[in-house]
Chain A
Amino acid sequence: MKLKFSLLLVVVVALASLHIAPTRGQDGPSVPAVLTMPDQIAEGRDVQIAVSNKPPADLAEELAVYEAQVAKFQAMYPNVTIEGLELEYDPIAYLALVAGGQLPTLFKTYFTEPEKFIGQNAVADLTTYYEATGLNSVFNPNVLAIASQDGKVYGIPDFAYSLGLAYNIQMLADAGFDAPPATWEELAEMAVALTDHDNGVAGFAFINDGSGATGWHYTNIAYGFGATPEGIIKPEGDGEYSAQFGEGSTVDALNFVHDLRWEYDVLPGATLDWGTITEALASERVAMVIYAGDQFGFMNNQFPDADLSKFGYAAMPAGPNGRVALTGGNLWMVNGSASVDEQEAAFYFQAWRQFDPVEYETSTITLSEQGRAIGQPVLPLYVGDYQAARETFEAQYNVLPVENYTAFNDAVKAGEVTLQAEPPAAAQDYYAELGVLVSEILSDENSDPESRLAEVAEEFQAFVLDR
């Protein structure tokens, strides 16, 4: 029975390869192989791993690619069994999974989360695998640092982006602007000209639903006004931190937000979250928005009627410290409670599907053929020739109008954008608190940014940093 199943598996993989092979980019350049896979995983012992983010049944083509990948890997390593879970990352659900000892062996999470998982001893140290494969020299060290703590690497980053400014090219042109704003002051002035409340058009928007994402966007504005991570939450040594955001540049930034609402009156009336801000941009109800590069992918996939050629993307406007942007992204982590064999299988499965040239090229071509977002204005995940080779390969299959993102891509490559880290401790709690405060400032004209920031900083110290 087992033999029959194995033969069937080989036939399926062979058929899948036959289908995929002719479509691979033989005409274009291929990416080099930087990963050498081991002859055996777990020394041949039977091992089963649970892997999150299996594509759901309604994404039939993506699911087919995923299943072919799994079948191929299991054929390469017959002792490994992979169980796919249609489980996407959700901070609250995963908190329960950690508490219940139910984390998948390999799971995908956000750049904001490693500190939390590492602090709870919930994830595995992958340093030895990185050293064995040499992949640490392939990754952009700034990106790998997000997955690292005390010299140990705990995750495999697979995607990185920074915040920038998306804008409606035609709306700017109609208002007499041929380029996006270079400074925050310029942004406010342009937004006034672009705002048309009678027709429900706001000149500028950021996520304003009072969630942590609102605090996150506000923090990027604050960085633009000269705030620094340590100027927000300062390390005091011995694991102690102090909340410093009650004064200085953070106050300037909050005053600016207050003025955008109550003096310039350029913000939308509706509350916008991660999804609805894209809807507002796509339906031309807002001219400029703080936007993550991968949200163009979201627009492309979720709003099939949206004409993406209408939208440009530039780096964040400059402040006293130049152009500063917060970063974000996804990485894969491995359950710290899994056995060593399971951890080894999980690491190599992810590394293989991320770095194997055939797997990478096949999935890129498939996504391109499906009209999925290739060409998003995101950050380089790797360094040197390898990164260049991937960019050259992907350029053949771009789906998005990459020429509209030149201002952003050029600024990043020229080093004009400072990619700023998050506050050094309790960043998510800080974003959540500031999201509530920004919501208050936007809805209450009499709320005083300076005194309220000081109060919130004091509360944050007592309830979060001192706990």
Chain B
Amino acid sequence: MKLTYALQTTRTITRPFSVLPYRLTRHLNGYLFLLPAIIVFALVAWYPIVRAFQMSFQEVSLIGESKNVGFENYELMKKDPARKIIFENSIEFASWSILLGYAVPVVVAILVREMRFGKGFFRIVYFLPSVVPVSIAVIVWRFIYDPDAGVLNEFLELFGIKGQLWLYDPKLAKPSIVAVMTWGTFGTTTLIYLSSLLDIPTELYEAAELDGASPLMRIRHITLPHLFPIMSLLFVLQILAVVQVFTEPFLFTKGGPGRRETLTPVLHIYNRAFGRADMGYAAAWSVVLVIVLVAFSAFYQIVNRRIAARQEN
């Protein structure tokens, strides 16, 4: 009883802001330390998000008052011919990226993991493209893809294959761009897979070898199941990244060739915001993009959990 009394007294004395809930004041020092970061983060991240949402309902004037226009910007999106093109392009970009890029880091990570010598050397070699800035990579790849004097076409001609308009042919532009994106990012993803592979207890492999499992069987029954959670996460992240791709199409093709074959949502938003100075319409596109991506992520998470739950059962 005495003890209870003493504790209550202490609480009353040490609470500096008695109107605030104890949960908050208990860690007041911690929150005070967090405050500068929260203020900066709010200004550079949360405020622009809220402002973009507000702008999507406005006809924005850069100088002077913006005018509220209700849902006009969203209504206009329904008439935008780019909408269908962007939707199709996003799906095709995501498909090409899964087809060309998703398996590459997994395979490379497994190969590096299996290496007996030079593991460190290859880790560095595969990671090197990741440290090259995209703008520099684009300049290099322009030389590679150049239809008149490019390295790739000259290489093909050695085998009697006709040179291609890599970035200028509507059928080739998307895979050509996805190849550059894969080249630039697979090093980082490989390292993530590699670190996950190193977590697998070597006893499992030793036991499998003793049981006579071939390397392919070891990969199928030990490596891939172990990698599944991280592969699943990176699958979502890759689609989110590809749908939001901007730099490569902007620098390579400006959304062309053909009927805007490489026009992506973010490139369209950029064109409307900074090309036409139509900030309100661009903000409406941004809000819709966020909603679609959040919905996709949530849907994927739900499906993924159900699959995992079924496997456990």
Contacts and interface: CB of A to CB of B under 8 A. Distances in A.
Given A269-B147, A269-B148, A463-B80, A440 B62 contact: no
B310 interface: no
A99 B170 CA distance: 37
Contacts of A99: 62-63
Interface in A409-467: 428-429, 432, 435-436, 439-440, 442-444, 447, 455, 459, 462-464, 467
B148 A285 contact: yes
Interface in B267-282: 271, 274-278, 281
B255 A210 contact: yes
B15 to A, nearest CB: 44
Contacts of B149: 200, 285
Given A439-B257, A440-B256, A95 B274 contact: yes
A92 interface: yes
A98 B62 contact: yes
A121 interface: yes
Contacts of B62: 95, 98-99, 120
A95 B277 contact: yes
A95 B270 CA distance: 13
Q: Say whether chain A's binding surface is mostly helix, strand, loop, or mixed.
A: helix
B27 interface: no
Contacts of B274: 91-92, 95
B277 A269 contact: no
B63 A122 contact: yes
Interface in A195-225: 200, 209-211
B55 to A, nearest CB: 12
B63 A210 contact: no
A138 B57 CA distance: 49
A432 B275 contact: yes
B190 to A, nearest CB: 32
A270 B62 CA distance: 38
Given A98-B62, A121-B63, A211 B254 contact: yes
Contacts of B255: 210, 436
Interface residues of B, number: 33
B253 A270 contact: no
Nearest to A462: B79
B209 interface: no
Interface string B54-89: 000001001110000000000010011100000000
A455 to B, nearest CB: 7
Contacts of B81: 455, 459
A269 B142 CA distance: 13
Contact of B257 (A428, A443, A455, A464): A443
Given A200-B148, A269-B148, A443 B168 contact: yes
Contacts of B59: 467
B146 interface: yes
Contact of B259 (A122, A209, A285, A447): A447
Contacts of B271: 432
Interface in B227-255: 253-255
B113 interface: no
A199 to B, nearest CB: 9
Contact of A429 (B63, B76, B258, B276): B276
Nearest to A201: B148
Nearest to B275: A432
A161 B112 CA distance: 59
A440 B146 contact: no
A269 B256 contact: no
Given A95-B274, A95-B277, A268 B256 contact: no
Contact of B275 (A429, A443, A467): A429
A286 to B, nearest CB: 10
Given A121-B63, A429-B275, A443-B168, A436 B256 contact: yes
A443 B79 contact: no
B206 interface: no
A392 interface: no
Which bracket fits the contact residues of A?
Answer: 35 or more
Contact of A444 (B63, B80, B253, B259): B259
Contacts of B147: 269-270
Contacts of A149: none
A271 interface: yes
Interface string A283-317: 00100000000000000000000000000000000
Contacts of B218: none
B273 to A, nearest CB: 9
B260 interface: yes
A270 B277 contact: no
A265 to B, nearest CB: 12
A283 to B, nearest CB: 9
Contacts of B79: 462-463
A443 B254 contact: no
A210 B76 contact: no
B277 A271 contact: no
A467 B274 CA distance: 16
Contacts of B257: 210, 439-440, 442-444
Nearest to A443: B257
A121 B63 CA distance: 8
A270 B258 contact: no
B108 interface: no
Contacts of A440: 256-260
Contacts of B80: 459, 463
A444 B170 contact: yes
A394 B95 CA distance: 60
A261 to B, nearest CB: 10
- B149, B165, B255, B277 pick with most chain A CB within 10 angstroms: B277
Given A269-B165, A270-B146, A270-B147, A210 B256 contact: yes
A447 B258 contact: yes
B63 A443 contact: no
B284 interface: no
A78 B277 CA distance: 40
A317 to B, nearest CB: 25
Given A270-B147, A462-B76, 19 more contacts: A98-B62, A99-B63, A121-B63, A209-B254, A269-B168, A285-B149, A429-B275, A429-B276, A439-B254, A439-B256, A442-B257, A443-B168, A443-B170, A443-B258, A444-B257, A455-B81, A463-B76, A463-B80, A467-B278
Interface of B: 59, 62-64, 76, 79-81, 146-149, 163, 165, 167-170, 253-260, 271, 274-278, 281
29 contacts: A95-B274, A98-B62, A99-B62, A116-B277, A200-B149, A210-B253, A210-B255, A269-B147, A270-B146, A270-B147, A270-B148, A271-B167, A271-B168, A285-B149, A432-B271, A432-B275, A432-B276, A436-B255, A436-B256, A439-B254, A439-B257, A440-B257, A442-B257, A443-B169, A443-B256, A444-B170, A444-B259, A463-B80, A467-B59
Closest 7 CB pairs of A and B: A443-B257, A269-B147, A200-B148, A439-B256, A210-B256, A99-B62, A444-B258
